[in-house]
Structure 1
């Protein structure tokens, strides 16, 4: 009887310890960025390295806008392909060098879109709208 009670108690303690060790995954911080003909608002965004962030791009303009970062060490998490809704016709890569952007959101007029990722290296990373003729830009600061 004592043996059975001891084994039961140890099983409960181990279960509690293992569940506590698992914990919840850290919640994603949402960063809302509005884009219009005047530029991004805010144009400077600060986030923590190693913490999951969701960038929500809200297009308040009458034409399509984009949010793109050429290079950012990170882990992308479980959202739809950020390029899936975009027609790349006419895009020659000249807006951000020869390589396509690593992070890319497309927001049609009056709509929003989002992407979740975890930046893995501190630094300052320029983001911009890469549509031909557009010059809106800002900076993502990873601390």
Structure 2
């Protein structure tokens, strides 16, 4: 996750795909100059979380589906994708989602 020279905030890769039942270790690096977070959830749950973050921008998380990183930091999420469906990964910090920092997370049926 990082910012581009044009000011867009991005994840690389921009899309993730897995199979239900698959367990993965996601290694996430903040290669940008700002704090960022990586949160996996449904689009609806991320929208609710984003609204909460707008009201309480300094709130800390301890969720197994998320990691918040300072510039240069690397973190990991160990996750088993149990249900097929369309999900999303995003940075829900104030203004980051709107700057392009989100992408589809597809879980297909095995």
After TM superposition, the score normalised by the length of structure 1 is 0.54
TM-aligned CA distance change 1:131 to 1:121, over 3 Å:
same
Cα RMSD, aligned residues only: 2.4
| Contact 2:64–2:77 (Cα < 8 Å) also in 1 | no
1:134 equivalenced with 2:96 (yes/no): yes
Within-5 A mapping of 1:49-64: 49-64=20-35
Q: What is the Cα deviation at residue 139 of structure 1? A: 1.3
Distance 1:43 1:93 in 2: 24
Distance 2:32 2:91 in 1: 13
Unpaired stretches in structure 2, ≥5 consecutive residues: 4-8, 43-49, 55-60
State which of 47, 68, 76 in structure 2 corresponds to 1:106.
68
Q: What is the Cα deviation at residue 63 of structure 1? A: 1.1
Using CA pairs under 8 Å that are at least 6 residues apart, name the structure with larger relative contact order, 1 or 2: 2
Q: Following superposition, which runs of at least 4 residues in structure 1 exceed 4 angstroms of deviation?
A: none
Q: Deviations over 1:98-139 (max 9, x none)?
A: xx8772111110111001010111111011101111120011
Unpaired stretches in structure 1, ≥5 consecutive residues: 1-34, 72-90
TM-aligned CA distance change 1:62 to 1:94, over 3 Å:
closer
State which of 10, 16, 23 in structure 2 corresponds to 1:45.
16
Larger C-alpha radius of gyration, 1 or 2?
A: 1
Query: Residue 41 of structure 1 aligns to a residue in which SS?
Result: coil
TM-aligned CA distance change 1:43 to 1:122, over 3 Å:
same
Matched residues, number = 87
| Contact 2:65–2:79 (Cα < 8 Å) also in 1 | no
Distance 1:67 1:59 in 2: 10
State which of 106, 116, 121 in structure 1 corresponds to 2:83.
121
